[in-house]
Structure 1
Amino acid sequence: MLPGTTRNTVLSALKRQRLPAIRTMLIGLCVMLALATLTTWAATRTRIVDLGSDNQMHSSGVYSEWSKGAVIVLIRHAERCDRSSNTCLGDPTGITVAGSQAATDVGHGLQHLGLDSAKVLSSPQVRTRQTAHFIFGKAISSEEWVQQCDQDFAKTALAHKAPKHNLVLVTHSGCIDHMERQLKVPGGQRSSDYASALFVSVAANGKARILGQMNASEWQKILNSTRT
């Protein structure tokens, strides 16, 4: 038997030895928990694929989903006059000449996909109606909801998607942002350039997922690759 004082000294020494080990173990557990939480969060986020090549269009499922009539395309209007020093088409609330050319390039790309089974709508704003005109070569019907860029936009767009018919919307960056938010795209990836197109697939049960995004300048590259 150890004297009381000696025993207490030994116990105190043992406790002092255990504390760093326990502290290290707790820190390790906290780090593991944080990593697991971060991994779970990342797994639920949507990464937007750049559709700037024919291979990406195939691998992302754009071609196959489009052939089923299962796609919503959200196209941002082309470059607007009031925020550019480029030559304007005419109406100061509309788009620039450069923007009209970008919209024409988008139109060539969509024609390549095929528009026979597509419904096309535009926001009633001048810049979106002009963009739609240059994309499709004619005036396009406009509806008020296509410019209502709020938390209900994604739900409304999905409600207007008819089975086996693709839906093309010429709209605004704010509306595209709300669609991306609804489909869990992280803030750092939510962006849309002038005349860019966001492709969203809609399953038979109404569940939507983002296939990817195409910038206006990339359509010509797609067309060139399919001609060779």
Structure 2
Amino acid sequence: MREHVNVPPVHRAGNLFKNAKKYRVLLTAGAIVVSLLLLTGYTYWPRSPIALASGENMNRAGLYDSWKKGEVVVLVRHGERCDRSDNECLGPEDGITRNGSQVSAEVGRSLSQLGLAQTDILASPSTRTAQTAAALFGHAIAAEDWLFDCEKIDLAQIMAHKSSNRNLVLVTHSGCIGKLERQQGYPHADTSEYDSAVFISMDKHSKPVIRGLLNPQDWKHLAMKAGD
């Protein structure tokens, strides 16, 4: 006896083919839409604050003028950690390396070219921030415990320590800088480099905003532009 084989009608097979083709088209269209949304999001919501050393970003942000008026807050991350490097330690293991101290000193020279006459300086009490601050400015800097408590730090707390018509430089940690970046709409910002800095000033509504970041290799170039 022959085995009976069910063969779908031609019109039904055609419908299956059309549905499969339509499904592939929808998948392709969906992938394109998602890609465009991701691209648009990256364009309008950048991963990290802008690089101030790029082009005229420092001037566009008005930071040279704001610095002269004493309206800027700068958060500087400490130098290279000794306990996470093979380089020679400057002192205790919980401090920074000799290489990190040299980089901090170079950053400090660039900061001094911007002018520190109307600038207050504070540092976290940790060994690595204290050593960084000393390398930056050539002497010991007053320590503030709140600069070590990155879980609680926020812009309001920072601005409460800023005096009118005086810039404020804070030597702190990547965790504190990252917390502020998240509060300002940069939830996926890259971890700040050693001796890098985030610049904050007031917007037209008198609210503090992050204007951009500066990596250690860019400080010297920035200070030269400030003297133009």
The verdict on a shared fold, with TM-score over 0.5 as the criterion, is: yes
Q: Tell me if the contact between 1:121 and 1:170 (Cα under 8 Å) persists in the aligned partners.
A: yes
CA gap 1:83/1:47 in 2 versus in 1, 3 angstroms: closer
The structure in which a higher percent of residues are helix is 1
Q: Tell me if the contact between 1:73 and 1:199 (Cα under 8 Å) persists in the aligned partners.
A: yes
For 1:142-195, what per-residue CA distance to the aligned partner results, in whole angstroms no more than 9, with x for missing partners? Answer: 0100111014433311221222211100000000001101111140x3420001
Q: Which residue of 2 aligns with 1:10?
A: none
For 1:86-131, what per-residue CA distance to the aligned partner results, in whole angstroms no more than 9, with x for missing partners? Answer: 0111211111111011111111111111111111000000000000
User: Does 1:139 pair with 2:129?
Assistant: no
Distance 2:57 2:42 in 1: 26
State the AA in 2 paired with 1:168.
V
Q: Which residue of 1 aligns with 2:64?
A: 63
Q: Which residue of 2 aligns with 1:185?
A: 186
Q: Which residue of 2 aligns with 1:215?
A: 215
For 1:5-64, what per-residue CA distance to the aligned partner results, in whole angstroms no more than 9, with x for missing partners? Answer: xxxxxxxxxxxxxxxxxxx9xxx9xx98x9789968975668511122573322232212
CA gap 1:114/1:134 in 2 versus in 1, 3 angstroms: same
For normalisation by structure 1, the TM-score amounts to 0.76
Q: Which residue of 2 aligns with 1:199?
A: 199
Q: How does 1:57-136 map to 2 (within 5 A)?
A: 57-136=58-137
State the AA in 2 paired with 1:201.
S
For normalisation by structure 2, the TM-score amounts to 0.76
Q: CA RMSD in A?
A: 3.3
Q: Tell me if the contact between 1:54 and 1:222 (Cα under 8 Å) persists in the aligned partners.
A: no
Unmatched 5+ stretches in structure 2: 1-24
Identity %: 41
Q: In the comparison of the two structures, how many residue pairs are matched?
A: 213
CA gap 1:36/1:169 in 2 versus in 1, 3 angstroms: same
Q: Which residue of 2 aligns with 1:155?
A: 156
Q: How does 1:39-54 map to 2 (within 5 A)?
A: 43=44, 48-52=49-53
Unmatched 5+ stretches in structure 1: 1-23
CA gap 1:132/1:37 in 2 versus in 1, 3 angstroms: closer
